Structure 1
Amino acid sequence: MKKEVAKRVQRIDTKVDKMRMRRKDTNTLKVKENVFDDATLKILYTVSNKGILNAIGGSISTGKEANVFLGEGKDGDIAVKIYRISSSTFRSMEEYILGDPRFRNVRHAKKDIIFAWTKKEHRNLTRAKEAGVRVPEPVHAERNVLMMEFLGEEGKAYPLLKDVNLDPEDAKLIFDTVIRYVELLYVKANLVHGDLSEYNIIVNPRTMEPIFIDMGQSVTLEHPKAREFLMRDIENILRFFKRYGIKEQAEDIYSSMKEIKQKTNKLS
């Protein structure tokens, strides 16, 4: 039985290689060991058979819990985010999970948490986009693999906000847009990003448009720590933009959002 399973996994691995998975250097091989385990290879083969993913290539970014790769979808480049099952810990996820009604019926085994987290990020991106927030458009979620719009040019991802040189005019424009997006999440999507900072915002260098990323931890307003997370998001943004002479108060921004939310609820 074990031999049959081993042969089946080997066949899947071979077929994924035919998807032109480029794993040439030692760093890539090291990543493969941590990310492309047998279960993930099966998932990639499944989405390949569905015609969603034609190829997966180089690494775009590496986070605490996931790696993002450049992929080739049916309509062009996509980003493929793979949450690590074998080597990750979901301790950092716990404060976002506990109290989130969407996790109420999820078993607290690591694998189940990661699968639910991946599905939640897909839903969060969808809700954010529908609310008018610029985020990567979700394409497909399958267990621990999330596929979404690739944001970049010629295979190179747009830079993080922290890496962009801004003049005062661009800084003010981006700041105003970021705060408007936080407000849209709160008022229209009933969401709080939960981990917003210059590390989770990318910028289109042509248009200077900010784009929110990494929304797996985003929580609904029913979460007991939603206000705490929202205030932290706002304070992180104010801290970053303080260097550009922007000195607004977090409580004032929050009060304005809360007032808009209350007015919106009365009208609905």
Structure 2
Amino acid sequence: MYGGFKKNKTINEVLDKPTVLTIYGMIKSQILSYVNGVIRAGKESVVFWAVSPANDDIALKTYLVSTSSFKKRASYILGDPRFSRIKSGTRNLVYLWAKKEYQNLTSCIGCGISVVKPIAVRKNVLALEFVGKNGVPEKTLVECQVNKKDYKSAILLIEQLYKKAHLVHGDFSEYNIFKTKNGLILFDLGSAVDLQHPNSQELLKRDINNISRFFVKRGLAVENPIDVLKKIRNEL
């Protein structure tokens, strides 16, 4: 092991020098003990399997500072009353995005909504509860057989976000919901916006339509998305 990283397991472009220093800081603060290999890699982030000093698994989500994708994501922050001061520059935007996801998850946990538990955030690095075992994450909805109960649970998550946490996910899909033996667990809440955001209602419609489309493709009957929208808004 070298400086908290298992040899040859974390060589990736995500680990630029500032990110490495951030992770070292989390190790020194005893948030992490060491970092294993990559669990998931995407355009905007890479998730590592890490381990805490108590030997608990941690999902270490590291946002890519070098990616241009975050410039397209600025609209999810601009207009959100919680983040009125935005410094210029991609790095600052990425840091704010990580902070926003941590804050969204914390709000959801406080409301009793089934999301991954946030542990800590430092700059572009977010430490999260590991949903899975021995470095293998639970499967997402898209990887599983689904049923009517899953559909109802997914719609309930959207409703709870809206009514309890006063948030709209903004990127709700079968790819960011774990299916576990204890039910569904939502993750990737960086895109979630406050209800006062000017695009919140359009994002709500899109979330409902997207997840409804997934279940229809799997051969399940779903409620009319318009009726679901009205119920969530208490218009029925």
- TM-score (norm: length of structure 1): 0.83
Q: Which of 145, 169, 175 is the aligned partner of 1:165?
A: 145
Counterpart Cα distance in 2 of 1:258 and 1:89 = 31
Q: Which of 25, 30, 34 is the aligned partner of 1:55?
A: 34
Q: Which of 70, 81, 84 is the aligned partner of 1:104?
A: 84
Aligned pairs for 1:185-200 (under 5 A) are 185-200=161-176
- Range with bigger deviation, 55-64 or 90-99: 90-99
Q: Which of 150, 159, 177 is the aligned partner of 1:183?
A: 159
Counterpart Cα distance in 1 of 2:74 and 2:53 = 35
Query: Runs of 4 or more off by more than 3 Å in structure 1?
Result: none
C-alpha deviation, 1:88, in angstroms: 4.4
* Structure index of larger Rg: 1
Q: Which of 201, 204, 215 is the aligned partner of 2:177?
A: 201
C-alpha deviation, 1:74, in angstroms: 2.8
Q: Which of 16, 31, 49 is the aligned partner of 1:70?
A: 49
Amino acid at match of 1:41: V
Give the 3-state SS of the residue equivalent to 1:74 in structure 2: coil
User: Is 1:219 the equivalent of 2:198?
Assistant: no
C-alpha deviation, 1:108, in angstroms: 2.4
Q: What is the match of residue 233 of structure 2?
A: 258
2:74/2:93 contact within 8 Å kept: no
Q: What is the match of residue 8 of structure 2?
A: 23
Counterpart Cα distance in 1 of 2:110 and 2:154 = 16
**Unpaired runs of at least 5, structure 2:** none
Give the 3-state SS of the residue equivalent to 1:259 in structure 2: coil
Higher-helix-fraction structure = 1
Q: Give the fraction of aligned pairs with identical amino acids, expressed as a percent.
A: 37
Amino acid at match of 1:131: C
Counterpart Cα distance in 1 of 2:172 and 2:95 = 22
Q: What is the match of residue 222 of structure 2?
A: 247
Q: What is the match of residue 10 of structure 1?
A: none
User: Is 1:81 the equivalent of 2:83?
Assistant: no
1:151/1:157 contact within 8 Å kept: yes
1:70/1:79 contact within 8 Å kept: yes
**Unpaired runs of at least 5, structure 1:** 1-15, 263-268
Amino acid at match of 1:154: N
Amino acid at match of 1:252: D
Counterpart Cα distance in 2 of 1:249 and 1:255 = 10
2:39/2:47 contact within 8 Å kept: yes
Q: Deviations over 1:74-121 (max 9, x none)?
A: 330010000111344312312212211233211121111111110110
Equivalent residues, number: 234
Q: What is the match of residue 135 of structure 2?
A: 155
1:238/1:246 contact within 8 Å kept: no
C-alpha deviation, 1:22, in angstroms: 3.5
Q: What is the match of residue 212 of structure 2?
A: 238
Counterpart Cα distance in 1 of 2:87 and 2:174 = 33
2:148/2:220 contact within 8 Å kept: no
1:22/1:56 contact within 8 Å kept: no
Counterpart Cα distance in 2 of 1:91 and 1:118 = 14
C-alpha deviation, 1:254, in angstroms: 1.2
C-alpha deviation, 1:128, in angstroms: 1.3
Q: What is the match of residue 137 of structure 1?
A: 117
C-alpha deviation, 1:43, in angstroms: 0.6
2:113/2:161 contact within 8 Å kept: yes
Counterpart Cα distance in 1 of 2:176 and 2:72 = 16
Give the 3-state SS of the residue equivalent to 1:174 in structure 2: helix
Q: What is the match of residue 41 of structure 1?
A: 20
